[in-house]
Amino acid sequence: MTDPRRERDVDETTYEALAQEASLEMVPGVSLAAMELSFNLIRAANRLQRDLEINVYRPAGMTLAAFRLLVTIGKEGSAD
């Protein structure tokens, strides 16, 4: 049988609470403060990536993936 918590859409707060609950079940004594920090860092990185995509890459006619590819090609092309 499927866990009903997995079948519903959840907001960030509910997701974090479920993740913390699951983590405590798997690893008693896990640092919830460290998990909260991790979630905040992930959210900040996602917002930064989205902002760069909208304001830098798309106006230049590319995506983040295209930018990464060009950086990689440029870096590899300059190696002797």
pLDDT single digits (tens) 44-70: 999 999 999 999 999 999 988 998 899
Is the domain of 21 the same as that of 37? no
Round to whole Å and give the CA distance between 32 and 66: 37
Cα three-residue angle 45-41-56, rounded to 5 degrees: 15
How confident is the model over 6-59, as pLDDT tens digits? 556 778 788 888 888 999 999 988 998 998 899 899 999 999 999 999 999 999
pTM score above 0.75: no
Is the domain of 36 the same as that of 57? yes
How many domains would you assign to the chain?
Answer: 2
Is the domain of 23 the same as that of 60? no
